[in-house]
Structure 1
Amino acid sequence: RPQDIDEAARRRLVKRLYIPLPDGSARKQIVSNLLREQAYSLTPEELEELSTTTDGYSGADMANLCREAAYGPVRAAAETIQHISADEMRPVLYKDFQAALHVIRPSVSERDLDLYIQWNKQFGCGKH
């Protein structure tokens, strides 16, 4: 937490940049990038809905969400997983993301986000 850095240490930081949470477009890109080597089947509408539903998620939260959703096909094939090849696994579906959203929650609270923005206004060297 940047506000916990003491003044002497803060003075030694040449650049103090606030990187905001990813917007909807960035979250869509994160999902696409993280799943590019994974078989998945999301319509553009489902990807758009996912980007809306994940408002407030950090990049790390999105990575955790994708990882959790990727377990969906494995869990669905639990009974037969020893008898099927990787090519026979179903793709990651929107329903896997819906289930993952119940497990993976945003890690940055609104309160913390407000504190980061305030700190950036006071000490940051980026846009205010």
Structure 2
Amino acid sequence: MVAKAVATACKSTFFNVSASTLMSKWVGDSERLMKHLFGMAAIYSPSIIFIDEIDSMLTARSEGENEAARRVKTEFLIQLDGVGSSSGRVLVMGATNRPFDLDEAALRRMTKRIYIGLPENDARDALIKKQIASVANSLNASDFQTIARKTEGYSSADLAAVSKDAAMQPLREVPPGDILSMDKNSLRPVTKNDFLAALRGMAPSVSQATVQ
């Protein structure tokens, strides 16, 4: 979301990629895809290349590492050096939950690091409202604040999962034989108790030890 916001604010072309889109079982294909990615980014500059879960591609190199993975890392670093020295305006961004697993050579080249913490109370309130906006509900401002307080330590993904589970609570009350024939408008609205029930079965995915 942050990368998309940056691309929109800068009016740049946005390339959203992951390690799986760049890796190939054929020898040499991964390096070729990497070259094409940076080449396209240069053509459509100003542009932003965003690599999600970048640690899956740029883990620290080791003795027993697969040769194909090593070549991909080397090609990425070469292309990254080219971005810095070329006249094209290309910004490379990566996201990871495991920054300490990244290769040192990659960290030296990606000098700007931004820590994005867990959402605070007001942010959780806004995220829950957004997640449940399209679902019929009877929640008021006080209910949203109560849910926000009880979800301290939850990530954005956790809040999305809790909201989806709460939205399913009214459907779970419908007899299985009536689900296919019923009108969706006949479902009762989602309530605060549905969220509390969802929270009882869903703990935060991020521990305090990890955050610290």
TM-score, length basis structure 2: 0.51
Structure 2 residue identity aligned to 1:11 = R
What is the CA distance between 1:102 and its match in structure 2? 1.5
Structure 2 residue identity aligned to 1:12 = R
Q: Percent identity over the alignment?
A: 39
- Give the one of 202, 208, 211 matched to 1:104: 202
Q: State the partner residue of 1:123.
A: none
5+ long unaligned stretches in structure 1: 115-128
What is the CA distance between 1:10 and its match in structure 2? 1.0
Say yes or no: does 1:50 pair with 2:147: yes
- Give the one of 49, 63, 74 matched to 2:171: 74
Structure 1 residue identity aligned to 2:199 = L
What is the CA distance between 1:66 and its match in structure 2? 0.3
Q: State the partner residue of 2:63.
A: none
> Contact (CA 8 Å) 2:129, 2:144: kept in 1 or not?
no
Higher-Rg structure is 2
TM-score, length basis structure 1: 0.82
More strand by share: 2
Q: State the partner residue of 1:94.
A: 192
Q: State the partner residue of 1:120.
A: none
Deviations 1:68-121 (A, max 9, x none): 11110100123543442011111111111111002221111101000xxxxxxx
**Number of positions where the alignment pairs a residue of Structure 1 with one of Structure 2:** 114
Aligned-pair Cα RMSD in Å: 1.3
> Contact (CA 8 Å) 2:136, 2:190: kept in 1 or not?
yes
What is the CA distance between 1:14 and its match in structure 2? 4.3
Report the Cα distance in structure 2 between the residues aligned to 1:89 and 1:40, rounded to whole angstroms: 10
More helix by share: 1
Structure 1 residue identity aligned to 2:136 = A
